[in-house]
Structure 1
Amino acid sequence: MRSLIVHNNASGFGSDAVFEFERALLEQGDECVMRVLPGSGGGRECLADAEDFDLVVLSGGDGTVSGLLWELRGRDVLSCVFPSGTANLLHANLGSAAEPAAIARACRRGLWARTDLGELSWEDPSGAHVCGFGVMSGTGYDARLMQAAVPNKQSMGEAAYFAAALKNIRPQVSHFSIEVDGERHERDGIACMVANCAMIQGEVEIVPDSSMDDGRLDVIVLETEDAVHLLRPMFASLVDPAGSHLGRPYLEHFSGERVHVRSSEPMPMQIDGELVTEGVTEYEARALPSCCKLVVDGLSRYRPQGERAPVHP
C-alpha cells in the first residue's frame, strides 16, 4: 500500500500521535510519504499527486483538514481524517475511534463513506475568497470567541474558548437577512452560522438530525442579547444531547442547499474554528454533496450497511 500523510505541525499541542499512527499503519512492503504543510497554504501543492496513492491521510485541526478535503473534492481519493488539532470536531462527527492504532486498523480494513462539504464565498477589504468547511462557519459572536481564544489555544486547548466566553458576556446584537434556497428570513441575534455537521464537544448536537451526508447545510442563529442566556441551551444539551426533546432555547435553525447571509454591520468570520477575516457583511454558502471519500470504522454512524472487502489487503 502506498500512503501519503499531509501533516500540520502547528496544529493542536504538537502531539506526535500521527507518528504513532504511521508505525501502526505500515506493514512490510508498504511505502509512506509524509509532507509537512508550510506556515500558510501549501495544501494544493501537497495534494497535487494524491491519485498516485492508495490512501491520503490528512493530519491537523478542523480548519486544516477541511481545507485539504476541499482541495480533494470530487477527486475520488480515499482520505483519512486524523485528529491532530485542538477540538477535532470533524473526526468526532464521523464517530470513528480516535486512537492512532484504531484509525490505522480502519485504514487497513478499507471501509469508507461518501460525505459532504460546505463551500463558503465572501468579500472583504482584501478581495474575493472561496474555501471549504467541514464542520461550521459563520459571523458574529462565535468568530469573536475564536479571535479572543487564539493567544491561549496552544497552552489551554479547548478551555481557551470558555475563557474567551467569560470575558465577553454582552455580545453585540446585529440584524441578519438570511436567504435559504430562495426563502428569506429576517432575524436579530449575536451570530449566524452555517453547519455541515452540528455536533460539538461532549457529543452535543446544536441542532437535531444534522448530517454530513444529506446534501444540505444547517443555518443557526443565536437569538439573544446576553451570553448568559446561552446557559439555557447548554443545560438542555446536558439532559438531551440530541436536541430531540427539549430543543435549543435561543437558537433557531433552517436547512437548505444554498444560503446567503447579510449582516447589518461588518463582522469577523470564522471557518472551522479559525478566524479568517474581519469586516465581512455578507457571505454565501452551498453544500457540496458526496464530494469526500472518507475512511470510517464500525463505530461510525456513516459506516457502510454491509460488510465490504478490504480496499488494502
Structure 2
Amino acid sequence: MTNQSGEAPARRVVLVANLAVGALVDGGLTPDALRERLEAVGLTVVPEPRPDASLPERLAAAVEVPGIDAVAVAGGDGTLACAAQALAGQKIPLAILPLGTMNLLAKDLGLPLDLDGAVDVLATGLVRRIDAGEVNGHVFLINSVLGMPARMARHREARRGHMGMTDLLRMAAGLLRHLGRYPRERAVLSLGGTVRRVRFRTLAVVCGDYREGLGAVLSRAGVDGGHLTLYLVETLSAARLVRLGLGFAVGEWRRLPGLERHETDALTLDARKALRVMNDGEVVLIAPPLRYRLLPGALQVLVPAEDPR
C-alpha cells in the first residue's frame, strides 16, 4: 500500500514498554524517550488505550486498537512471551525492542540488539511468521523448563536488577546445594503414543531445537521448524553438571550420556501436584496434567528486510 507520492505510509504502532525491565528500572530510558525515538524515524505512535493496567491487560488492549500496523514491545524474553499470549493467531505483528538481559528471541531472529537498530527494523522490516509453544494456555516462544532451573529462578527474581558477583556466587552455591537437597520431580510422560513414568532433575520443551557448534550456546537452529524438542535429564550430579556445561560450551552436548532428546509436536506430563514451570524465563505454577502443543506459524514478527542468514 502506497500514498499519492508512491511511498509506503508510515507504520502506525502502539508502544508497550515493560516498566519492570532493567533498562527502564535503572533510569537509562523512559517510555517518553522510546516514543521520541520511534517518531524520529517517521513512525506514528498511537497512545496506549490502558497504560495503567497490568502488562497482560495492556498488551491485550493494544492488539484491539484499530488501524495499527504493529505492537512494539520493549522488554526481555518474558515480556515478549506475554505479548505472544495476546498476539498469537492475530494479524497484527510483534515488533521487538530488546531491553532484557538475554534477548534470546531477538538473537534467534537476527535482530540488532542496539536500540537504534531495533527501531530501524520496526520502521523498515518485513513480517515473518514463527512458531510458538503452548502449555495449558500459556504461550512460550523459546522454551518451557521444569525442575531445578525453575526452582533456581526464584533466587534470580528476588535479585532482579541487583545481581553482583557476590549474588552470582551465592546462586552457584545454591545450585550445588539443590543437587542433593531436593528430590527429583516425578511425573507420567505421554509422548508419541507411549506412556511411562519419569523422574528428572531438569525437563525442557524447546520451540524448534538448539543449534550445535562452538559459540551456539542457547541459540536455536530456527524459529519455524515445525516441531518441539523435549530434553530430559534424570540425574544431575556436580560432575555431570560440569560435563553438560562444557558440552554446551563446545557445541557437542546432544551426545552427552544421560541427556534424553525427542522431537514432537505434542506431549503430556502428569503429576500428583502443581508443577513450577519457567516459560521463557518467567515462572508460573501450573496444575497437572501439563499438555504441551506446537502452534505452527502462530506469531507474526518484524525482522530485518535483509535476512542475516
TM-score, normalized by the shorter chain, greater than 0.5:
yes
Q: Does 1:25 align with 2:38?
A: yes
Cα distance in structure 2, aligned partners of 1:96 and 1:17: 22
1:104 to 99, 107, 119: 119
- TM-score, structure 2 as length reference: 0.79
TM-score with structure 1 setting the length:
0.78
The structure 2 residue matched to 1:247, chosen from 234, 252, 255, is 255
Alignment of 1:274-285 (within 5 A): 274-277=282-285, 280-285=287-292
Correspondence list, 1:248-267, <5 A: 248-263=256-271, 266-267=274-275
Q: How far apart are the structure 2 equivalents of 1:213 and 1:58?
A: 21
SS at match of 1:142: helix
1:169-180 correspondence runs (5 A): 169=176, 170=179, 171-180=182-191
The answer to whether the 8 A contact 1:6-1:46 is kept is no
Residue equivalent to 1:238: 249
Larger relative contact order (CA 8 Å, sep ≥ 6): 1
- Name the one with the larger strand percent: 1
For 2:248, what is the secondary structure of its paired residue?
A: helix
How far does residue 64 in structure 1 lie from its aligned partner after superposition? 1.9
Relative to structure 1, is the Cα distance of residues 158 and 177 closer, same or farther in structure 2, using a 3 angstrom cutoff? farther
* Structure 1: distance between partners of 2:300 and 2:262: 27
1:230 positional shift: 1.5
- After superposing the two structures, state which structure 1 stretch, 179-188 or 269-278, moved more: 179-188
What is the rounded CA distance, in whole Å, between the counterparts of 1:199 and 1:26 in structure 2? 36
CA distance in 2, matches of 1:183, 1:50: 45
Aligned partners of 1:92, 1:73: CA distance in 2, in Å?
A: 20
How much has 1:195 moved relative to structure 2?
1.5
Are 2:87 and 2:93, in contact at CA under 8 Å, matched by a contact in 1? no
Kindly provide the CA deviation profile for residues 256-303 of structure 1, in whole angstroms up to 9, marking residues without a partner as x.
11111124665422221112127x4531111111111111123644xx
Instruction: State how far apart, in whole Å, the 2-side matches of 1:226 and 1:21 are.
Output: 46
- The answer to whether the 8 Å contact 2:187/2:198 transfers is yes
Could you tell me which residue of structure 2 aligns to residue 68 of structure 1? 83
Superposition CA RMSD, Å: 3.1
Which residue of 148, 154, 157 maps to 1:150? 157
Identify the residue that residue 13 of structure 2 maps to in structure 1: 3
Percent identical pairs in the alignment equals 22
Q: 1:196 aligns with which of 201, 207, 211?
A: 207
Letter in 2 for 1:294: V
Give SS of 1:150's match.
helix
**Other structure's SS at 2:159 match:** helix
- Structure 2 Cα separation of the partners of residues 118 and 180 of structure 1: 16
Q: Unaligned stretches of 5+ in structure 1?
A: 122-129, 302-313
Match of 1:272 in 2: 280
Give the one of 220, 233, 237 matched to 2:231.
220
How many residue pairs get aligned? The number is 286
Q: Secondary structure at the match of 1:247?
A: coil
Deviation per residue, 1:147-186 (Å, 9 max, x gap): 1221112211899677434313214323333223433354
Aligned to 2:56, the other structure's residue is in SS state: coil
Q: How far off is 1:67 after superposition?
A: 1.6
CA distance in 1, matches of 2:250, 2:260: 19
Contact 1:259 1:284 in 2 (8 A): yes
Letter in 1 for 2:143: M
Letter in 2 for 1:142: P
User: Do the aligned residues in 2 keep the contact of 1:233 with 1:249 (CA within 8 Å)?
Assistant: no
CA distance 1:117–1:246, shift in 2 (3 Å) = closer
Larger radius of gyration: 2
**Aligned position for 2:240:** 229
Query: CA offsets per residue over residues 67-107 of structure 1, 9 Å max, x none?
Result: 21221112121221222223222222222211111112222
